[in-house]
Amino acid sequence: RSGRPQYLEVRNLRVVFDGFTAVDGVNLDVTQGDLRFLIGPNGAGKTTIIDAMTGLVPATGSVNHTGIEILGRKVHQIAKLGVGRTFQTASVFENLSVLQNLDIAAGARRRPLELLRRGRGTDPAVDEALEIIGLERLASKQAGTLAHGQKQWLEIGMLLVQNSELLLLDEPIAGMSQDERAQTGELLRRIGANRITLVIEHDMDFVREYATSVTVLAAGKVLSEGSVAQVQADPRVQEVYLGT
C-alpha cells in the first residue's frame, strides 16, 4: 500500500453483444480515495462496464489498475489482482455464519502454508472487516438469516478481507431502508478513503450525498463527468434525464 497512489485507467473500452455495441469506447480515470459514482439511464451500459472489468464479458480496449493490465485475464486472476466486485443481489454463503463467510473469503487470499499454520477464525483481517462492516455482534449468525442490508455489508466485508483495492459496487443500497442507506454511505466513505471505488447507483439523493465525482453514461458512452453539481448543470445530462 505504500508509494504512489493507486489508480484505475480505462481506455477505449468496448463491449459488443451480437453486433450490438453496449459499451462504446469508454474512458474512465479514478484515483485512490475517489468515490466515483457511475450513473445513467437503464441500458446505458453501467453493469456491462463492470462485467468487462471483472472478466465476465469479453471486451476490447484497456483497463489498467495501477500499472497492471487486467483486461483479457480470467475472473479469478482479476480478483487476485485486487479487484473486488459486488452484485445487486448479495452472493453470500447462506448456510454459513458471518464469520465463516469472511473466513472463506480470507482463505482465497491466504497461501496454503499459511492456512495450515493458522487456526480458523484467528485472522486479524477478518476481525478488522467484522468491525468495519459493523457485524461483530452477529459474527456467529447464519448469513441467510441476516437482513438485506447486513448481507450487502457482509459481501463488502468479503472484499475487504480479500485485500481488494479497487471496489466495483453494483447498486449497493438497492432495497435498503433509509437507516441502512446512511450506514452504507458512511461505510463507503470509510473504506473508500484508501481505495479506488466505482459505484453504480440510481438514487440521486445518495449520489449527491456521497459522491466525490460522477460519470454519466448514456447509450454506452460517457456523456458527462465531474462533480455532482457540474454534471447536473450539463445540458446533455438534462436532456437524457428529462428528455428536454
| Residues making contact with ligand ADP (CB under 6 A) | 17, 20, 22, 40, 42-48
Residues 112 and 23: their CA atoms lie apart, in Å, by 39
> For residue 181, what is its C-alpha cell?
442507506
Residue indicated by cell numbers 455495441: 21
Q: How far is the CB of 115 from ligand ADP (least distance, A)?
A: 36
Q: How far is the CB of 17 from ligand ADP (least distance, A)?
A: 3
Of 34 and 51, the one with the shorter C-beta distance to ligand ADP is: 51
Of 103 and 201, the one with the shorter C-beta distance to ligand ADP is: 201
Of 83 and 135, the one with the shorter C-beta distance to ligand ADP is: 83
Q: How far is the CB of 40 from ligand ADP (least distance, A)?
A: 6
Share of the chain residues as helix, strand and coil, in percent rounded to the nearest 5: 40, 25, 35
CA torsion, ordered 172, 178, 180, 182, to nearest 10 deg: 80
Of 16 and 125, the one with the shorter C-beta distance to ligand ADP is: 16
Q: How far is the CB of 200 from ligand ADP (least distance, A)?
A: 6
Q: Which of 95, 140, 138 is nearest to 120 (CA)?
A: 140
